[in-house]
Structure 1
């Protein structure tokens, strides 16, 4: 069996994507010297190097890569070796132009960027297997090799192709999935608009049509595109397992970035030996550290709670947003250690040395254009020393308080055309609920709707439009056995084929919530409603309202105005040993905090009012002990209560009673006992 941790790495992973082919060979020795100065333990190599490794069909040049890997090994730096299959060479496209992907409008992409791949193309699959085999045979037992890095960021920027090869592959996938064309007709509801198919050969990808197409077909095509990319990953992985046994194989995920919402990471997490993730701050005015925490929690959850590795983030600004601000002093360390607190076994960057040419030349790096006499470099060296002092946390696991249900298939379905309101964004609700939990200082695990939830006192459903009958039964059993459930509007509406559950809304959740919804009543832009509680207190909602009819649930808050005035807005249903809450409008932060406060009381989760806002406290524990991370994202010095004394690992000082955490700083305490 392959390892599930980087082979031979005895410290936390620290380093970045290393692209020596962009530089004269004379620079390589300087690179390695600086890597040792910074405390680099691992670098990723060769991810975009296919054109250099195979300059013409079947002709290979490994000499430069041999020298790079040997140089790194001589200096004690481990290698995460990429298969460069994200960027086929120009000669490949010259011989196989049909491997370039086609849009739904019938436009074929051109060579000149990255990831321009039709994943159904047989010639691409053969070429990818060929270069992967060559690499595995040459480097599979190299002593520097710590893990294999297949491809790069699957699904970015292209996940689906709509060419004739994909059409034929889609038909085969449908036949394997459904067995008969009649079963496809039933699943997609093709009786509507006379879309019934007589044979699989009649079916094409959901290409551009005069108006909205079949939503069941569109949803299945997203599943097919995701499965096709995964087939290609597994093909490369299996070659590497065979030729390089014992070395873990991964590919870098992008779990919480909306740019990569085409990938079902629950499924991918089962195929990699080690989960790795890339994360970049979205600087749109929101609190970026909250999204960072969310990404780390989601990645850990995809890994099944096991340690994972942050394989890419930025030392400072990125290059691909409309505006790319630099990180503030100390923010690099907070970002890096925030991921470590939530389960990462290190902090890697894109990239080691900042490029002088190409599309990403203004993306920050560990060695910036300004060289070593820069703030970024000094912070890189300081971070390397900090990570070295935390080596004993390797193998420990982050402790979570609550679960949030998350399902990429539901998002795919809800984001199709012609839903009741385009203003209801499922990702916005997930972000909002997560932020409210974060501000209550609760650490989150994410979970698939059909997962075992018994260990969580509180489970939150921010937006799950698509919910299988099995998931609905799972939540009902969870509440009956004593759990506390919070569900937001427009959840449980359709099954796995985007067919509305039979009977009244909310379909799969009617019984557990103890209510029905007669009708949705989305609001127009700028409209809002007031909801009032039994004590006369008032909250506001927007975007969405519903005509809710209690069927055993108690009304807690009521609509005070609008079309739904007098109807329940927030309900609470006691079922078995537990409780299920439902909110039928979009609450702001104040309302979500109130709702989750009530639910937390039901779940017997003690309030953590002694922790300031934007000071996060997270625990990791395992065989080497228990560790408390305190990260101060504010500009004010603060103190964090310590139930158990211990040793602060970054300063070496003893800590007891209350832990001092300076403004913008991170403290990590190894607790006694």
Structure 2
């Protein structure tokens, strides 16, 4: 089995992307001196360095990289060494302009940014294999090497190319996936609009058409594009495994960012030796720490619950949003340690020294433009000491309370054109359900719809438009076995080919929910409906309503107005030893909280009493003990009850009964026993 932890790293990872090639060598010794001052344990090197490593075809210059790796090793700093295949050199594109990707509209991108790659291009694949081989042969047993870092953020900013090379590759993929053109016709429903193919050679990528194209073809092309990137990752990974045994191989994910929704991370998580993730705060007015927790929980889930590594985040503001505010004092530490609480084996940043040139010169860094006499640098040094104090949590696992289903294929299908309402956003539903669970102080695992769910008392399904028969059977078995299920509207509608399931909606979820849906009735902008329920409890819905027919389920809330007035809006179905809930409209946070409160009572999940809003409490447990992380995102001191006495690792103080967490601070208690 490949190694899954960075080789030679005995503490938590702390550091960031280091780009010494942007600076004269006279700066390098100052860099490593400051790294030691900050407590840096690992840096990522060489990710965008192809043009320097191979300045002309077949001509290599490794001298500068030799010197920097030796310097880092001499100073006790481990290296996450990149294969620079995300950024082929200008000479490569001059020789092979067809390796630049083409949009669905037929426009070929130009060189001058990053990740402009047609992943089907044979010349690119050969060149990527060559530079990876050269690096592995030279540095595979270098004493500084802790981790191999293949490519960078696959799928950002380009995942799919629509050129002729991709067309030929797509046909080969279809042949391997379906076998015959008749099977493709059946899967894609090409009898509609006369789209039937007589031969696979007649099939092209889903390029721009006069009106909406075939949705099943578009869905398969997203699968193909994702699989093609994964082929290239495996090619590099296998070279590294062969030439550098004992060193784990990873690539940095971006699990919860909508900018990277083209990647099926369930599949990718099975390919890497160590799951790593990049996370950046989306400053759109929402509570950014909730999205951070969601990203960390999702990354841990992709890792199968095992420890993972935060490979990039920011010390302060980023540079690529419309407005890029600085982080507040103390926020860097809260963000970093919240990732650690939810399973990360450290906190890495982009980047070490803030660039003076290029597109990301206004992106914050560990060493800012202002140098060491800055708030950011002082907080970096403080954080380095805090991360060092938490070394004992290495290898422990985060404990989850409930699960949320998440499926990238369903999202791909849901976001295709011509759906009943463009106002239904499956990501918004996932965010809102997650936020309600977060505010109830519940730690979430995410799970694939066909995964084993038996460990969870409650499973929430925010949006599962694409539901396979296997997923339907899995959810039924979960409920029959005693689980509590909550399903939101417009789930169970189509199969893996975007074909509507035979019979009434919601297809394979009919039996477990004990109902059918006769018709969808999306609402117009500004329209709302009232729901009346037990003890006069009223809820509000918007965006969506349905005509629900109970077939064993009981009605808990009914529509008080709108087209389905008098019909069920929220139902509850007892099945076997468990219970399944269904909500047929879009509830806001308060409505979802009322619904989930009842579902959690069914699941016998005790309320988390005595915890203030925006104070996270998360536990990691393993052979070294149990660690309670308390993260206070508020402007007031908070009191957190403790079930056992312990030692607070950041201050060294003893803690008993109740833990005081100062405003904006983090406390980590190693519990006794």
Q: Which residue of 2 aligns with 1:504?
A: 504
Q: Which residue of 1 aligns with 2:123?
A: 123
SS of corresponding position for 2:517: strand
Q: Which residue of 1 aligns with 2:256?
A: 256
Q: Which residue of 2 aligns with 1:280?
A: 280
Computed over aligned residues only, the root mean square deviation of the Cα atoms, in angstroms, reads 0.4
Tell me how far apart the structure 1 counterparts of residues 396 and 214 of structure 2 sit (CA, whole Å). Answer: 47
1:506-528 per-position Cα deviation (integer Å, ceiling 9, x unaligned):
11100000000000000000110
Cα distance, 1:572 vs. partner?
0.1
Tell me how far apart the structure 1 counterparts of residues 433 and 464 of structure 2 sit (CA, whole Å). Answer: 13
Q: Which residue of 1 aligns with 2:214?
A: 214
Residue 539 of structure 1 pairs with residue 539 of structure 2: yes
Q: Which residue of 2 aligns with 1:82?
A: 82
Tell me how far apart the structure 2 counterparts of residues 550 and 535 of structure 1 sit (CA, whole Å). Answer: 21
Tell me how far apart the structure 2 counterparts of residues 411 and 12 of structure 1 sit (CA, whole Å). Answer: 34
Q: What is the TM-score when the length of structure 1 is the normalising length? A: 1.00
Tell me how far apart the structure 2 counterparts of residues 638 and 224 of structure 1 sit (CA, whole Å). Answer: 50
Cα distance, 1:144 vs. partner?
0.3
1:275-424 to structure 2, matched below 5 A, reads 275-424=275-424
SS of corresponding position for 2:534: coil
Q: Which residue of 1 aligns with 2:646?
A: 646
Tell me how far apart the structure 1 counterparts of residues 5 and 602 of structure 2 sit (CA, whole Å). Answer: 39
SS of corresponding position for 2:464: coil
Cα distance, 1:418 vs. partner?
0.2
Tell me how far apart the structure 2 counterparts of residues 351 and 535 of structure 1 sit (CA, whole Å). Answer: 55
Cα distance, 1:535 vs. partner?
1.6
Tell me how far apart the structure 1 counterparts of residues 644 and 535 of structure 2 sit (CA, whole Å). Answer: 40
Q: Which residue of 2 aligns with 1:203?
A: 203
Tell me how far apart the structure 2 counterparts of residues 428 and 418 of structure 1 sit (CA, whole Å). Answer: 19
Q: Which residue of 2 aligns with 1:61?
A: 61
Tell me how far apart the structure 1 counterparts of residues 538 and 453 of structure 2 sit (CA, whole Å). Answer: 33
1:597-638 per-position Cα deviation (integer Å, ceiling 9, x unaligned):
000000000001211100010000000000000000000001
Tell me how far apart the structure 1 counterparts of residues 534 and 30 of structure 2 sit (CA, whole Å). Answer: 70
- Stretches of structure 1 lacking an aligned partner (at least 5 in a row): none
- Stretches of structure 2 lacking an aligned partner (at least 5 in a row): none
Tell me how far apart the structure 2 counterparts of residues 656 and 544 of structure 1 sit (CA, whole Å). Answer: 49
SS of corresponding position for 1:4: coil
Tell me how far apart the structure 2 counterparts of residues 192 and 33 of structure 1 sit (CA, whole Å). Answer: 67
1:623-662 to structure 2, matched below 5 A, reads 623-662=623-662
SS of corresponding position for 1:166: helix
Q: Which residue of 2 aligns with 1:137?
A: 137
Tell me how far apart the structure 2 counterparts of residues 345 and 534 of structure 1 sit (CA, whole Å). Answer: 46
Q: Which residue of 1 aligns with 2:594?
A: 594
1:444-495 per-position Cα deviation (integer Å, ceiling 9, x unaligned):
0000000000000000000010010000000000000000000000001000
Tell me how far apart the structure 1 counterparts of residues 592 and 667 of structure 2 sit (CA, whole Å). Answer: 30
Q: Which residue of 2 aligns with 1:153?
A: 153
Q: Which residue of 2 aligns with 1:33?
A: 33
1:414-441 per-position Cα deviation (integer Å, ceiling 9, x unaligned):
0000000000000000000000000000
1:385-425 per-position Cα deviation (integer Å, ceiling 9, x unaligned):
00000000000000000000000000000000000000000
1:620-672 per-position Cα deviation (integer Å, ceiling 9, x unaligned):
00000000000000000011000010000000000000000000000000000
Q: How many residues align?
A: 673
1:303-362 per-position Cα deviation (integer Å, ceiling 9, x unaligned):
000000000000000000000000000000000000000000000000000000000000
Tell me how far apart the structure 2 counterparts of residues 645 and 291 of structure 1 sit (CA, whole Å). Answer: 31
SS of corresponding position for 2:627: strand
1:152-204 per-position Cα deviation (integer Å, ceiling 9, x unaligned):
00000000000000000000000000001100000000000010000100100
Tell me how far apart the structure 2 counterparts of residues 381 and 424 of structure 1 sit (CA, whole Å). Answer: 45
Cα distance, 1:205 vs. partner?
0.2
Q: Which residue of 2 aligns with 1:672?
A: 672
Tell me how far apart the structure 1 counterparts of residues 306 and 534 of structure 2 sit (CA, whole Å). Answer: 44
Greater than 3 Å deviation, 4+ residue runs? none
Q: Which residue of 1 aligns with 2:106?
A: 106
Tell me how far apart the structure 1 counterparts of residues 2 and 215 of structure 2 sit (CA, whole Å). Answer: 40
Q: Which residue of 2 aligns with 1:185?
A: 185
Cα distance, 1:86 vs. partner?
0.2
1:47-100 per-position Cα deviation (integer Å, ceiling 9, x unaligned):
000000000000000000000000000000000000000000000000000000
Tell me how far apart the structure 2 counterparts of residues 537 and 207 of structure 1 sit (CA, whole Å). Answer: 50
Q: Which residue of 2 aligns with 1:227?
A: 227
Tell me how far apart the structure 1 counterparts of residues 8 and 587 of structure 2 sit (CA, whole Å). Answer: 49
Q: Which residue of 2 aligns with 1:50?
A: 50
Tell me how far apart the structure 1 counterparts of residues 374 and 472 of structure 2 sit (CA, whole Å). Answer: 55
Tell me how far apart the structure 2 counterparts of residues 225 and 566 of structure 1 sit (CA, whole Å). Answer: 46
Q: Which residue of 2 aligns with 1:477?
A: 477
Q: What is the TM-score when the length of structure 2 is the normalising length? A: 1.00
SS of corresponding position for 1:535: helix
Tell me how far apart the structure 1 counterparts of residues 203 and 566 of structure 2 sit (CA, whole Å). Answer: 49
SS of corresponding position for 1:471: helix
Cα distance, 1:46 vs. partner?
0.1
Tell me how far apart the structure 1 counterparts of residues 564 and 612 of structure 2 sit (CA, whole Å). Answer: 38
Tell me how far apart the structure 1 counterparts of residues 249 and 657 of structure 2 sit (CA, whole Å). Answer: 44
Tell me how far apart the structure 1 counterparts of residues 616 and 116 of structure 2 sit (CA, whole Å). Answer: 40
Cα distance, 1:2 vs. partner?
2.0
Q: Which residue of 2 aligns with 1:437?
A: 437
Cα distance, 1:576 vs. partner?
0.3
Cα distance, 1:534 vs. partner?
2.9
